[in-house]
């Protein structure tokens, strides 16, 4: 047992306690009076349903995070990682192959153990509140596709990083950073074209009133928008969404069919105006550069720790390896990533106000307000989150703050 081991256990327990306390604090405010601006979001029946939904998710969250803490601690303390490491080393003596088997067993193992939780979430909780549209068959196919993607993409990148480590030693992080950077830019550009079709059907938004309104808004603000797609989100859930992806010629807007069903034309244009605001105010490029810099920082710090055998031994393995060090480092680094995540969330909330302002100034605030209310109503969202919970977890400001800003 070494110093890093105790640090890892402390971090895991501390994070669990912090999260549980935050969730508890947030849950204590579920019954707070609803702000005046939001009085028309729910009627009496829907409000009670939303209270029930939040309580159900709160309790389920405690159950699943407690399970996951005990599982991780038991695996760590009773030599789970050593067992998997030896299993992988019996199959091959090539470090890259050993690492791939090691991560493969851990990922698949933890995925199998957590599947009952996600199954329950989808087919019991979401089903009970009328959100679920998925079927057990679709659920299983999604899982398998997700695993295959993880094996191909995750395994591929891991193999390349390990190869750099063998070849360039301590400097591996610079090459790894370059590969990860190219990969993430490539994914940002082609995600909609390559990955989304594996899970959903996308069609170009058909000609008609909505398309005309969107096009004339885009022309007015000087935003080139040729690619507007509709995605069949309704095959899994009634919850609605819209997002923006890519840049240059690859930039596109994707609207969930559920969004088109729930909102009227003006409200959809307002939602798009908000998205255009993110683009025009350069939030997209900022986020991308920030995440590339953070990746570089993480890889650099990893390079300082990876060669210290104690870092590997901290997870209970008897032989030093890059893959064991990577697991150990992943936990040791998590307090730092919590802090960078907190900063990114803070900036993201600022950006949301700026994008709302852009929609208000170039289009109208009223349809954005009503669309936000409808979306909150249809997802039974929490209208009275605790400020500490917002500070740590929210990438978007609470609804009431957005509406006050739009009304100001």
Pairwise CA distance, residues 54 & 27, whole Å: 8
321 close to 312: Cβ distance less than 8 angstroms: yes
Residue placing its CB nearer to Zn ion in the complex, 317 or 355: 355
How is residue 347 written in tokens? 């900036």
Sequence-separated contacts (24+) of 341-348 with Cβ below 8 Å: 342/391, 342/392, 344/287, 344/290, 344/395, 345/391, 345/392, 345/393, 345/394, 345/395, 346/391, 347/286, 347/290, 348/287, 348/395, 348/396
Q: Which residue has the tokens 């059907």?
A: 201
Least Cβ distance, residue 201 to Zn ion (angstroms): 25
264 close to 257: Cβ distance less than 8 angstroms: no
Pairwise CA distance, residues 405 & 399, whole Å: 10
How is residue 289 written in tokens? 């550069």
322 close to 165: Cβ distance less than 8 angstroms: yes
Residue placing its CB nearer to Zn ion in the complex, 145 or 350: 350
Q: Which residues of 396-406 are buried (b: 16+ CB within 10 A; e: fewer)?
A: bbbbbbbbebb
275 given a catalytic annotation: yes
19 given a catalytic annotation: no
Residue placing its CB nearer to Zn ion in the complex, 264 or 357: 357
Least Cβ distance, residue 274 to Zn ion (angstroms): 6
Query: Which residue in the list 262, 267, 356, 401 is annotated as catalytic?
Result: 356
Rg of the chain, C-alpha, whole Å? 23
- SS3 per residue for 30-82: CCCCCCHHHCCCCCHHHHHHHHHHHHHHHHHHHHHHHHHHHHHHHHHHCCHHH
Residue placing its CB nearer to Zn ion in the complex, 272 or 325: 272
Binding site for Zn ion (CB under 5 A): 352, 355
Least Cβ distance, residue 398 to Zn ion (angstroms): 14
Residue placing its CB nearer to Zn ion in the complex, 273 or 324: 273
Least Cβ distance, residue 273 to Zn ion (angstroms): 11
How is residue 197 written in tokens? 């079709």
Residue placing its CB nearer to Zn ion in the complex, 103 or 358: 358
Least Cβ distance, residue 371 to Zn ion (angstroms): 12
Query: Which residue in the list 267, 275, 352, 401 is annotated as catalytic?
Result: 275
Least Cβ distance, residue 88 to Zn ion (angstroms): 43
CB atoms within 10 A of CB 73: 15
Least Cβ distance, residue 196 to Zn ion (angstroms): 19
Pairwise CA distance, residues 153 & 251, whole Å: 23
Least Cβ distance, residue 275 to Zn ion (angstroms): 7
* Alpha helices per DSSP H over 236-305: 257-262, 265-280, 283-305
Residue placing its CB nearer to Zn ion in the complex, 225 or 327: 225
Residue placing its CB nearer to Zn ion in the complex, 234 or 354: 354
Report, as residue numbers or ranges, the catalytic residues: 275, 356
């Amino acid at each position: 047992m070494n110093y890093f081991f105790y640090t890892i256990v402390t971090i895991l327990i501390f994070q669990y306690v912090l999260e549980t306390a935050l969730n508890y604090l947030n849950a204590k405010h579920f019954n707070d009076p609803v702000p005046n601006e939001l009085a028309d979001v729910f009627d009496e029946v829907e409000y009670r349903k939303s209270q029930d939904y939040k309580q159900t998710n709160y309790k389920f969250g405690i159950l699943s995070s407690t399970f996951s803490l005990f599982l991780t601690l038991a695996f760590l303390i009773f030599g789970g990682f050593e067992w998997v490491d030896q299993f992988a080393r019996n199959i091959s003596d090539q470090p890259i192959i050993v690492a791939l088997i090691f991560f493969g067993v851990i990922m698949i193992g933890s995925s199998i153990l957590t599947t009952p939780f996600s199954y329950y979430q989808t087919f019991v909780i979401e089903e009970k509140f009328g959100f679920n549209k998925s079927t057990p068959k679709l659920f299983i196919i999604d899982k398998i596709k997700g695993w295959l993607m993880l094996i191909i993409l995750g395994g591929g990148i891991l193999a390349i990083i390990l190869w750099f480590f063998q070849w360039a030693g301590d400097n591996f992080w610079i090459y790894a950073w370059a590969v990860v950077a190219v990969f993430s830019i490539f994914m940002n550009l082609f995600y909609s074209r390559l990955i989304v079709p594996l899970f959903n059907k996308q069609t170009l938004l058909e000609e008609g009133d909505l398309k005309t309104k969107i096009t004339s808004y885009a022309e007015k603000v000087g935003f080139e928008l040729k690619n507007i797609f509709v995605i069949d989100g309704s095959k899994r859930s009634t919850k609605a969404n819209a997002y923006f992806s890519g840049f240059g010629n690859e930039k596109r807007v994707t609207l969930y069919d559920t969004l088109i069903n729930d909102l009227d034309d003006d409200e959809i244009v307002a939602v798009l105006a908000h998205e255009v605001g993110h683009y025009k105010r350069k939030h997209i490029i900022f986020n991308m550069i920030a995440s590339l810099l953070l990746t570089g920082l993480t890889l650099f710090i990893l390079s300082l720790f990876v060669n210290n055998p104690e870092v590997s031994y901290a997870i209970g393995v008897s032989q030093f390896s890059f893959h064991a060090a990577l697991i150990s480092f992943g936990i040791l680094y998590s307090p730092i990533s919590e802090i960078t995540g907190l900063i990114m969330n803070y900036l993201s909330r600022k950006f949301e106000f700026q994008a709302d302002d852009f929609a208000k100034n170039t289009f109208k605030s009223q349809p954005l307000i009503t669309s936000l209310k409808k979306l909150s109503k249809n997802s039974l969202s929490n209208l009275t989150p605790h400020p500490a919970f917002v500070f740590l977890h929210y990438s978007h400001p609470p609804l009431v703050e957005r509406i006050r800003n739009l009304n100001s």
